[in-house]
Amino acid sequence: MNLLKDVLANEVYPALGCTEPISCAYAAAIAAARLDAPAERLLVKVDPGTYKNGAAVTVPHSGGAKGNLVAAALGAALARFEAKLQLLQEVTPEVRRRAQRLLDENKCRLECLDDQPEFYVDVEVGAGDHSARCVLAGGHTHVERIEKDGQIVFHAAPDSSSSTGLAYRGVLQQLSLGEVLATAERLDAEDQAYLQSGVEMNLAMSQRGFDVGRTAFQLRQMQRDAFLADDVFFRTKLRVASAVDARMAGIDQAVMTSGGSGNQGIVAILVPFLVGREMKVDARRILQSIAVAHLVNAYIKCFLGEISVNCGCALAAGIAAATAVVYQQSGVDVPRITLAVNNVIGDLSGLICDGAKPGCAMKAVTAVDSAIRSALMALKGYGLSADDGLVGQTVEDSLRNLGRITLEGMFRVDPTLLKILQDKTSVSGKA
């Protein structure tokens, strides 16, 4: 098994739009392709994390509409899925009209599966007496099951090492962080080219966000007003915020994800790239550090889950970016990397995820600041110790403690948040 290639293949891929609603579109398209007629009805069932991440984010090619149900209706109307999470680039005005008819006729329904702790998207479409169903589980593009008229036509092969069928995750769970990082040394020319394409993709998106007039615009204005210094912190935060602004606004351009998340991909890729370039790090070393960031982000999911109560952009991608910056200067230096991880955890633990929306750029800015600061402190030998809150004796202990806080201590956060989002939807009258 080549762990790096498995992570890159399964968790680092282009996505057009927020990955949760686009996963709903992907599942709907797969199901609709099994029908012999255009979809006439649609039922979407999702886990709480997917529900909240689709509640307030604009869906590309939707005419400015938001939500998982809108994305699923577009996918069902399209009924083509080969482009995976970039499928909405194929939406035409006619596809949009068909999707809007489905929505207008109240034949689409969205349900939140409150007791589903892991990523899960279940879409059933129907036409006349026929129906088709697609279930995604364990990953945003991982098809677990496809049905036609109640009969299973595809079922992912079970894998004893991983409940999701993604065997590399079972391997990840058994490794120390140092062992995970060592796999980045196996970077080959194919991996380098793929990682470079992710850099270019996310830099291109960051050029699109300034016209949105949100967080990046405000940061630039504060710098012009002399409230912020024009330094590596500011320049990195500006590019990251701009990319997230563009993505949350539904700009028609893909980004490279990390851990199946576009915003996490923006942080995990752009922070080590921009900081490394400013610190004149060798180009290949920068790409190795980005590989490290992707590996660490995947590793953290083993402790926190696919979609966490905590903000993954801040904690998972923030830790990944901090680790990558330390790696650029010190290699697989576990003591310094441990300090960097502990610094981010001590700084940002408890920052909740309240869904994908324009405000994610604010949290991304916080993540960038903490990641760079934590890494630079660690390189100087400073970091929080086991005497400090939930920080553990080892980096693995710290991540396990963070996982306990997330999965045990904060178990009421998502239900409370979902109730708030549902109450807001009820008041506004929007689907």
The pLDDT tens digits of the residues spanning 255-301 come to 999 999 999 999 999 999 999 999 999 999 999 999 999 999 999 98
Contact 46, 112 (CB under 8 A): yes
Residues 234 and 143 in one domain: no
Residues 181 and 270 in one domain: yes
Structural domains counted in the chain: 2
Residues 356 and 209 in one domain: yes
Q: Quick one: CA torsion of 253, 254, 255, 259, rounded to 10 degrees?
A: 150
CA 8 to CA 38: how far, in whole Å? Answer: 35
Residues 192 and 66 in one domain: no
Residue 259 structural domain:
175-419
Q: Is residue 167 part of a domain?
A: no
Residues 144 and 179 in one domain: no
Domain-terminating residue out of 155, 183, 206: 155
In whole numbers, what is the pLDDT of the chain averaged over residues?
A: 93
Q: Is residue 430 part of a domain?
A: no
Strands (E), 5-103: 14-15, 41-46
Q: Give the pLDDT of residue 421.
A: 86
Q: Give the pLDDT of residue 340.
A: 98
Q: Give the pLDDT of residue 412.
A: 86
Residues 303 and 210 in one domain: yes
Helix (H) or strand (E) holding 391: none
Q: Give the pLDDT of residue 97.
A: 96
pTM as predicted? 0.93
- 425 CB burial (10 A radius; 0-12, 13-18, 19+): middle
Q: What is the CATH number of the domain that holds 79?
A: 3.30.1330
Q: Give the pLDDT of residue 291.
A: 98
Mean pLDDT by 10 residues, the chain (431 residues): 92 95 97 96 95 91 94 97 96 96 92 90 97 94 95 80 64 93 92 98 96 95 97 98 96 95 97 98 97 97 85 94 98 97 95 92 97 98 94 95 89 87 66 39
Q: Is residue 162 part of a domain?
A: no
Q: Is residue 431 part of a domain?
A: no
Residues 6+ apart with CB under 8 A from 261: 19, 312, 313, 317
